[in-house]
Amino acid sequence: MAQQSGRYSYYEETRALEVTDRPRKFLEAFAAVLEHSSYGIALDAYARVGAKCSRCAASCQLYQATGDPRDIPCRRSELLLRVYRRYFTYGGMLRARLFADFALDDAAIDRMAEEFYRCTACRRCKLTCPFGVDHGLVTHLARYLLAEVGVVPKALVVSVREQLAGVGNTSGIPAAALRDTCEFLHDELQETYGADVPFPIDVEGAEHVFFPAVSDYLLEPDTLMGNAAVMHVTGGSWTIGTGNFDGINYGLFYSDRMMERICKRVGAEVRRLKGRKVLVGECGHATRSAWLLPNFLGADAPPAVAFLQYTYRALAAGKIPLKREKIAERLTYHDPCNLARAGRITEEPREILQAISAEYVEMTPNRSENYCCGGGGGTVSIDEIRAFRTRKMGKAKADQIRATGAKLVVAPCANCKKQLKEVCEDNGLEDVRVVGLHDLLLKCIDFGAAGGKGKE
């Protein structure tokens, strides 16, 4: 935005609004959202909570790192809650008539624009609030309203635009390049493991339609080969669709409207291929947004399966033969917030890793009390704030990794992987490697026992 170009250069004006129009538009959007959603129920409860016990501050890794009052969760949420109280409650409206009360102005919008993108919406603070205030939800709503007046980080807007109006995925990969990549991965598996692992494309009637974070096709080939290998040895029915092969949904980070449009594209591809389930690759937010499909597609929504869960069940059922040799290097596991806190997927990856690792160690805290990688809520894609992301938001995670002494960190999420690689680079942990879970599992699968030729 013109008046912010120096201060928040990573924002983009998505709508040509006069600056003076923004408070009015913000309130109109707020009124519409309250009318057509259930956000009001939560806001009503949160707006009544008077406690300022600051327990949330003690559990927020960002505030722990910065000590900046702007990063106290309840203080940030108050930026939005005071707007709600003032304009959408009788008490607030009455007080405004009697006293010169707070009025939403442009400066208040600028403050929200800055502060609601310092929070990673990891929801760790919710665990400690005695009233259950969900600051991640408040952040989510504030960002949505900001988006309605055109304030969104450029990186998020550009990705969603490419997905909805461009090539059809956030990495801009054409279908022909997807086919080439799958062929390459097939050949690579053949050469390295002696296994003929197919990457089925546009197969109608498959049980699972596969949606990884599309960036895996560019950055994480080992994860994809591990995914394909698991489907191969378990005899799983699956396909990749050329109409939509991207599980990323950045709408989750800034706009319910965009999230809905992206979810509908996923549903349309599953329908086109006459598939039955959405199989989400290693990606926390993609999994969480796939779980939200019923909100937008109703009863027709295909069920969503996290790849980790598929693999865990197959391993437990004895369908994935493993070699005797395990991964010898000490390794640790990072719980992606969207899987561990939102999805309660905590034991499945541990069981898999313990089956293939000779030295598995835990970070502390872990599971649903884990620290965010520091790049949650879409902030990982904002390169302009890298130093803040890695040295402040990611500091707790760097300290945790260092304390384990592990040189291998497993993170089954595309966003976490990118962030953790940068966290390690920027915090003196250059000798630590960050990998996906299926990358390691791939090395341990006994293709020979699975019926393929396999290499020793």
Q: Rule CB under 6 A: which residues touch ligand SF4?
A: 49, 51-56, 60, 62, 73-74, 119-125, 128-131, 133, 135-136, 139, 372
31 or 45: CB nearest ligand SF4? 45
60 or 224: CB nearest ligand SF4? 60
61 or 239: CB nearest ligand SF4? 61
Whole-angstrom distance between the N-terminal and C-terminal Cα of the chain?
59
Cα distance between residue 58 and residue 37, in whole Å:
31
User: At its nearest, how many Å lie between ligand SF4 and the CB of residue 418?
Assistant: 18
- Residues, the chain: 456
User: At its nearest, how many Å lie between ligand SF4 and the CB of residue 117?
Assistant: 10
**Upper half-sphere CA count for residue 230 (Cβ side, 13 Å):** 28
User: How many C-beta atoms lie closer than 10 Å to residue 143's C-beta?
Assistant: 27
Report CA 287 to chain centroid distance, whole Å. Answer: 8
User: At its nearest, how many Å lie between ligand SF4 and the CB of residue 313?
Assistant: 31
User: At its nearest, how many Å lie between ligand SF4 and the CB of residue 56?
Assistant: 3
Is residue 282 within 8 Å of residue 414, measured between CB atoms?
A: yes
293 or 372: CB nearest ligand SF4? 372
Tokens of 207: 């049980």
74 or 197: CB nearest ligand SF4? 74
User: At its nearest, how many Å lie between ligand SF4 and the CB of residue 234?
Assistant: 36
In terms of C-beta density within 10 A (0-12 exposed, 13-18 middle, 19 or more buried), how is residue 430 classed? exposed
Strand order in the sheet with 238-240: 238-240, 208-211, 277-280, 304-306
Sign of the alpha-carbon torsion through 195, 198, 199, 205: negative
333, 335, 325, 330: which is closest to 356 by C-alpha? 325
Expressed in percent and rounded to 5, the helix, strand and coil fractions of the chain are: 55, 10, 35
One-letter identity of residue 151: V
User: At its nearest, how many Å lie between ligand SF4 and the CB of residue 301?
Assistant: 27
**Upper half-sphere CA count for residue 322 (Cβ side, 13 Å):** 20
Is residue 69 within 8 Å of residue 118, measured between CB atoms?
A: no
58 or 93: CB nearest ligand SF4? 58
One-letter identity of residue 90: Y
User: At its nearest, how many Å lie between ligand SF4 and the CB of residue 128?
Assistant: 6
125, 73, 141, 138: which is closest to 337 by C-alpha? 125
62 or 342: CB nearest ligand SF4? 62
User: At its nearest, how many Å lie between ligand SF4 and the CB of residue 141?
Assistant: 13
53 or 403: CB nearest ligand SF4? 53
One-letter identity of residue 383: D
User: At its nearest, how many Å lie between ligand SF4 and the CB of residue 138?
Assistant: 9
User: How many C-beta atoms lie closer than 10 Å to residue 280's C-beta?
Assistant: 28
Tokens of 188: 């690579």
User: How many C-beta atoms lie closer than 10 Å to residue 350's C-beta?
Assistant: 18
Is residue 243 within 8 Å of residue 311, measured between CB atoms?
A: no
User: At its nearest, how many Å lie between ligand SF4 and the CB of residue 79?
Assistant: 12
115 or 222: CB nearest ligand SF4? 115
Decide the pairing of beta strands 331-333 and 360-361: parallel
138 or 152: CB nearest ligand SF4? 138
User: At its nearest, how many Å lie between ligand SF4 and the CB of residue 51?
Assistant: 4
275 or 376: CB nearest ligand SF4? 376
